[in-house]
A and B are shown apart, each in its own frame.
Chain A
Amino acid sequence: MPTVTLTVNGRSVTADVDARTLLVQMLRENLHLTGTHVGCDTSQCGACVVHVDGKAVKSCTTFAVQCQGTEVVTIEGLAQDGKLHPMQEAFREHHGLQCGFCTPGMIMAAVDIVNRKGAVDEATIREELEGNICRCTGYHNIVKAVEAGAQAMTGKAPARQAAE
């Protein structure tokens, strides 16, 4: 059985896993980080998005062994010292969730969008959220939340502006 060592949310972890273990399985079942969800298991929905070496990826479509030596960040790794990450705070503030199932993936995708593109406009956000499906919200409040979160992360404009 391969031994996989990776850094998850700043902590070095090692596990013996079957080669076919998906990254999401290692996170949820071995490390008990159940914030990362499995919505479809067919690479479509984005509920399982985490960051691997700073890039958003679908952890249901990545083997844990492929992540040997990488730096993984999950939704549990965003808040610092009991304070929500600005993107999490924006989702709360703008009611960017209903049932919350898609939310961990949405927020990890949103942070990745801002890391790549900075303060983004609505059209860009909608295009960039292509890989994340939400069955509840109809997306409007998610888009608003990402816009506000992006502003809060970059300090480009006051987050309140997007709230209307």
Chain B
Amino acid sequence: MYPFKYQKAATVRGAVSLLGKAEDPKLLAGGHTLIPTMKQRLASPKTLVDLSGAGLSGIEQKGRNIVIGAMTTHAEVAASPIVQQAIPALAQLAGHIGDPHVRHRGTIGGSVANNDPAADYPAALMALGATVHTSKRKIPAEEFFAGMFATALDEDEVITKIAFPVPAKAAYVKFPNPASRYAIVGVFVAKKGSQVKVAVTGAGSGGVFRHTAMEEALAKRFNPKSLEGVGTPAADLNGDIHASADYRAHLVGVIAKRAVAAAIA
């Protein structure tokens, strides 16, 4: 790993100002993507700005939203009575990221900012219609994710919290890679009023995406049977050593049905 200068921000404003003036800076949250990447020398920031002292962790219910601070760990989301009660699918998703040690350090803000095409949280943000709050604005999930490992964030922008509207019904099912636990395919379904959203992670060559054909079928009747015959074109999907694009296309259908079944159970 190349050397870097370590700075700890005491506030979000402090972090933004460090990002503005430090040499080649990068934010450090749980470090569970960034540190492995730096070890491989795929990233070599000159300055790391640690967010752990900036007061960004915590979970609260605000009206019809569950608001989760960017530095809240996966373990905290999984164990939160507020999340378990209002959006159990989200608590369950967080409880199946990686392993217990990863969940003790990894954060929701880091996961969302990283936008790994196989990460779990992006599917939740898309299907629940979440809003990403940053140091300068509020970004709807739909506009936030901008392709593999890309987001709408500016260089000097810090995610502060994420607001999830509480759905009527929701579920997340993932087909994990047995070694890494990342999603080979993960499907998050959510129903709120008459609107149904289906978000697929792990499969898309451009990262997380909404499956509109499934959404239309499920809006008519929210039942796994509605998904019979609703296909997923393999052309836009990932193929790699773990699974071919055709296999992923097949899995999307299977996993989506399981997710709908879990949501109505």
- Which A residues contact B (CB, under 8 angstroms)? 2, 18-20, 22, 41-44, 46, 49, 55-58, 61-63, 65-66, 109, 112-113, 116, 128, 130-132
Contact = CB atoms under 8 A, between A and B. Distances in A.
Contact of B101 (A2, A19, A58, A66): A58
Interface size classification for chain B:
20 to 34
B181 A130 contact: yes
Interface string B26-44: 0010011001101100000
Contacts of A62: 31, 35, 105
Contacts of B179: 44
Nearest to A49: B101
A19 B36 contact: no
Interface in B51-109: 52, 75, 98-102, 104-105
Contacts of B38: 20
A55 to B, nearest CB: 4
A66 B31 contact: yes
A56 B104 CA distance: 7
A41 B5 CA distance: 22
Q: Which of B28, B101, B180: most chain A CB closer than 10 A?
A: B101
A61 B36 contact: yes
B3 A56 contact: no
Nearest to A58: B101
A22 B35 CA distance: 9
B105 A57 contact: yes
Q: Which of A18, A55, A66: most chain B CB closer than 10 A?
A: A66
B46 to A, nearest CB: 11
Interface string B9-34: 00000000000000000001001100
A62 B1 CA distance: 13
A41 to B, nearest CB: 7
27 contacts: A2-B6, A18-B3, A19-B4, A20-B2, A20-B4, A20-B38, A43-B32, A43-B36, A44-B179, A46-B99, A46-B101, A55-B75, A56-B100, A57-B101, A57-B104, A61-B32, A61-B36, A62-B31, A63-B6, A66-B28, A66-B31, A109-B101, A130-B99, A130-B100, A130-B181, A131-B100, A131-B102
